[in-house]
Amino acid sequence: LAKIPGWRKAETLDGIAAYAGYRALVEAQGVREVSAVMVEPEFFRVLGVQAQAGRLFQEPDTKSCADCVVIGDELWRSAFHADRGAIGRTYKIAGRPLKIIGVLPAGFWFFTDSPEVWTLITSASFVDPKTTLVYAIARLRPGASEKTSLDELRRLYRNLPPYIKSNAVVRAARQVEEARITSLMQDPLYRLLPIVLAGIFVFAAVSRSEE
């Protein structure tokens, strides 16, 4: 993620924005799990899409509207009954209170998925700019070819600071695995497992002696 600002210097691009997908729970008219995407504020501008109700993210939102969310048309109709009054209200989405600021137009799609929740990547507490791997979408500047742009992006990439150390991802994965093991060992069922196994061994030994 920390490398994206370096690519914004590309003269062949008319904009670039990072994004990463995840799953989110939406608590409105019950609880439902939906596909979600966290994006940089210029994401929708790069795509050239407009809101059908309310508004979409803007650059100042990183500071003034960090707890804002944009939702898809399907979620707006199924969970909020297409009520424009839902815009400006706060609901528990992705585990925290978020204010709906806009609704994407009907028929909007992004690649093969249909995300219903869009939040700011800059407000995600679990995102480390130095190690988080993200995707990016860019718009070519008029007159620029794809090959020319790719060559420029590669050149810029080679000059960007090496934020990610070779073993950073390995360390992060190990920490996650250790946390999972610790959590598992604290589970009452895990503590019961040795007793169950011991009972099975005793039963097997008794059965064998009786034979």
Element (H, E) at 71: strand 68-71
Q: What is the pLDDT of residues 15-68, one digit of tens each?
A: 999 999 999 999 998 999 999 999 999 999 999 999 999 999 999 999 999 999
- The amino acid sitting at 106 is A
Which residues have C-beta within 8 Å of that of residue 163, sequence separation ≥ 6?
2, 3, 129, 130, 131
Spatial distance between the Cα atoms of 70 and 54, rounded to a whole number of angstroms:
9
The contacts of residue 141 (CB under 8 Å, 6+ apart) are 11, 12, 13, 14
Q: In tens digits, what is the pLDDT along the chain, a chain of 211 residues?
A: 888 999 999 999 999 999 999 999 999 989 999 999 999 999 999 999 999 999 999 999 999 999 999 999 999 999 999 999 999 999 999 999 999 999 999 989 887 678 999 999 988 877 787 788 899 999 999 999 999 999 999 999 988 876 544 445 445 545 555 555 455 455 554 444 444 444 444 444 545 555 5
> How far is Cα 7 from Cα 20, in angstroms, rounded to an integer?
17
